[in-house]
Amino acid sequence: MSPSRRRFVQGLAMGGMAASLGLTSRSLWANAEQQQKMPTLRGTDYDLTIGEQVVNFTGTPRIGTTVNGSLPAPILRWKEGDTVTLRVKNNLPESSSIHWHGIILPSSQDGVPNISNGFHGIEPGTTHTYQFKVAQSGTYWYHSHSGFQEQTGLYGPIVIDPMEPEPFTYDRDYVVMLSDWTDEDPTVVYAKLKKLSHYYNFNERTHKDLMKDLKEKGLARTWSERKMWMQMRMSQRDLADVTGYTYTYLMNGQTPADGWTGLFRKGEKVRLRFINGSAMSFFDVRIPGLKMTVVAADGQYVQPVSVDEFRIGVAETYDVIVEPDDGAYTIFAQSIDRSGYARGTLTPDAGMQAAVPPMDPVPNLTHTDMGMDMSAMGHNMHGMGGMDMKGMDHSKMAMGGMDMKGMDHSRMAMGGMDMKGMDHSKMAMGGMDMKGMDHSMMAMSGMDMKGMDHGPHPMGGKSTPVHPSDFSSGKVVHAPTEYGPQVDMRAAAPRYRLDDPGVGLRNNGRRVLTYADLRNLHGTNDPREPDREIQLHLTGNMERYMWSVNGVKFNDAEPLRWKMGERLRITFVNDTMMNHPMHLHGMWSDLETGDNDFIPRKHTVIVQPGSRISYRVTVDAEGGWAYHCHLLYHMLGMFREVQVS
């Protein structure tokens, strides 16, 4: 279907479940919760039925996967401290499952077939009973962990009310669940990606961009900027595998044409619980005209931070509080590749809407996103006189002259700062001011930079003088399994980029949330230092559409074996050009932001392209756990089983 056709059908304003409430705005007031279009179920006992149903998001009727006839699945509203019992009946013709995402529970209740202890999926026609004590509060979600059922609709919100009073107040509480719908069969989507990995990408750079670049930058600079991408056979527009070409982006199950509506009265504080329940889509969320105060991330309270915009990776959740004035506001969630958006309206009057802003321009990936930005050195070498490399302008670096094979980092672990392998004679760094740099770089050969990483970093200004790189040994090692047809890129200089909002959000004039902003409200839960560190590389071949961890896909991988009671540091190195939301089941990921005293806890952590990031895990849950990238079509290969004993 062509994009124009899609826009046309969206214009038809088709309702998701065709479940028009038929209520006047008056009666809507009486039952604002119903506005979610997802029923809310409460209490401790639940009967959930997984089934198939005709849905119509685009003008073409399709079969969706529903829970109790709802897509998205109903909102489950639990209470912290309760024991919940959920009887899940599977009416599908195939095996199914429900995984309670972000919920800390025994392995046997986690709902991942053949990994969770004793659980092998819910066979057709049977009922499986989950039962566990709810040990936390906040915003979470649930979804199928079988086949591609999550893509066809099996996902829903979980809201857990806390036992203790909340550290903030609000008058109204809405779930805002973002997701992506395709009329195509997900197995066909996957097959298409395998046959032509850029099948859905209609945002490539074309003749027009080239002419513009030539005019603005001249031939030499245009060539030098593009040369490396062409040599590496990669696209600067490889932002999303599956796009608005086939996706209709949904907000609470509503298409952009319909738009979800949340009502408020003037002066009210509104809590919005954003959940990204997509199969494949990252969203950049903002509400033009409103500041959002982020109060929780992945269900856990954080110190309030006021932002204009945030990026929400697949499976993440953010709770924000807004204080709208007397008017309508558009909740605008554009996909990371700007191929479409989900939309809703906050309004005091159901008949009132606000303007929908235009999408931002399609961004280009940069050398930073390839882990090629050597200004990382500036950071790690803070305090080494005359070594500030931040000023190095990579746009002026003619990387073309550089032998990329030589940069193959088995020889040149830039992360570890062993610069010996870097052949400067081959680097045509035309236009770059080499004066300050040349010297310091010479001095670096042979120097063990690892030792330096650990040295004191007088950074001044911050109360906790720590840089994230202090946490890790600093050495990036690409395993031998990363070399082969299954891996087409290895990041040369993967940086900690906690304060980088990411491609498309840099310097956009808005205050954008970054991981560096996240500070646990109550202080670090487990202040222990890690006992050991595990480095996991996120790898893939984007051309062949193969995904793996350390170059080894799930089928061929041994489980990770962790010891009960140990404290781990996981360091992720992203050797691809895509963002990967990494999700660890059963245990918290204590994200190392640089502030040891207020480490935020997450269940899903975005690892930016060409970057590294680390978190601590207290291994306190026995049994089998899934550990994977939450992009559905990456997950099949980019997956590990964790066995805790």
Partner 1 sequence: MRKINMMILALSMSGSALAGGMNDDPFLFMLKMDKFELRDADEGTALAWDAQAWAGRDLNKLWLKSEGEKLSGEGTEEGNLEVLYSRAIAPFWDLQGGWRHDFRPTPDRDWLAFGVKGLAPYLFEVDATAYVGESGRMAAALSVEYEYMFTQKLILSPELEMNLYSKDDEEVGVGTGVSDLALGLRLRYEIVREFAPYIGVNWWNKFGRTADYAEAAGGETSDVEFVAGFRLWF
Other C-beta atoms lying within 10 Å of the C-beta of residue 171: 13
Closer to partner 1 by Cβ: residue 19 or 232: 232
**Closest CB 222 distance from partner 1, rounded Å:** 14
Stretch that binds partner 1, among 363-371, 486-494, 591-599, 606-614 (CB under 8 A): 486-494
Closer to partner 1 by Cβ: residue 132 or 639: 639
Structure tokens given for 92: 């599908």
Which residues are within 8 A (CB) of 226 and not within 5 positions of it... i.e. 6 or more apart?
Answer: 213, 236
Question: What number of chain residues touch partner 1 (CB under 8 A)?
Answer: 52
Other C-beta atoms lying within 10 Å of the C-beta of residue 192: 16
Closer to partner 1 by Cβ: residue 146 or 579: 146
Stretch that binds partner 1, among 76-84, 138-146, 291-299, 492-500 (CB under 8 A): 138-146
Which residues are within 8 A (CB) of 454 and not within 5 positions of it... i.e. 6 or more apart?
Answer: 470, 474
**Closest CB 44 distance from partner 1, rounded Å:** 28
The DSSP 8-state label assigned to residue 254 in this structure reads: B
Q: Are 548 and 539 in contact (CB under 8 A)?
A: yes
Give the H or E element holding residue 84: strand 83-90
**Closest CB 62 distance from partner 1, rounded Å:** 15
Closer to partner 1 by Cβ: residue 425 or 555: 555
Other C-beta atoms lying within 10 Å of the C-beta of residue 390: 11
By CB under 8 A, the residues from 49 to 68 that bind partner 1 are none
Closer to partner 1 by Cβ: residue 224 or 254: 224
Q: Are 548 and 478 in contact (CB under 8 A)?
A: no
Q: Kindly provide the b/e burial profile for residues 9-19, where b requires at least 16 CB atoms within 10 angstroms of the residue's own CB.
A: bbeeebbbbee
**Closest CB 311 distance from partner 1, rounded Å:** 25
Residue 555 touches partner 1, criterion: CB under 8 A: yes
Q: Are 488 and 548 in contact (CB under 8 A)?
A: no
**Closest CB 181 distance from partner 1, rounded Å:** 20
DSSP readout, 428-460? --TTS--HHHHHHHHHHTT--HHHHHTS-----
Closer to partner 1 by Cβ: residue 94 or 349: 94
Q: Are 74 and 40 in contact (CB under 8 A)?
A: yes
Closer to partner 1 by Cβ: residue 2 or 507: 2
Binding residue for partner 1 (CB under 8 A) from 488, 500, 517, 590? 488
Strands, E, within 116-259: which ranges? 127-133, 138-143, 155-161, 172-182, 247-251
- 3-state class of 139 per DSSP? strand
**Closest CB 96 distance from partner 1, rounded Å:** 9
Residue 241 touches partner 1, criterion: CB under 8 A: no
Tracing tokens 């039925």 back to the chain, one arrives at: 49
Query: What's the distance, CA 632 to chain centroid?
Result: 12
Q: What is the CA radius of gyration of the chain?
A: 24
By CB under 8 A, the residues from 179 to 218 that bind partner 1 are 185, 187-188, 190-192, 194-196, 199, 202-208
Closer to partner 1 by Cβ: residue 449 or 587: 587
Residue 2 touches partner 1, criterion: CB under 8 A: yes
**Closest CB 549 distance from partner 1, rounded Å:** 12
Site mask, partner 1, residues 623-642, x = CB under 8 A? Answer: ---x--------xxx-x-x-
Closer to partner 1 by Cβ: residue 71 or 228: 228
Calculated CA dihedral for residues 113, 115, 118, 120, nearest 10 degrees? 20
Residue 230 touches partner 1, criterion: CB under 8 A: yes
Binding residue for partner 1 (CB under 8 A) from 24, 27, 114, 129? 114
Residue 541 touches partner 1, criterion: CB under 8 A: yes
Query: What's the distance, CA 397 to chain centroid?
Result: 31
Residues that bind partner 1 (CB under 8 A): 2, 95, 97, 112-115, 121, 144-147, 185, 187-188, 190-192, 194-196, 199, 202-208, 230-233, 484-488, 541, 543-544, 546-547, 553-555, 626, 635-637, 639, 641
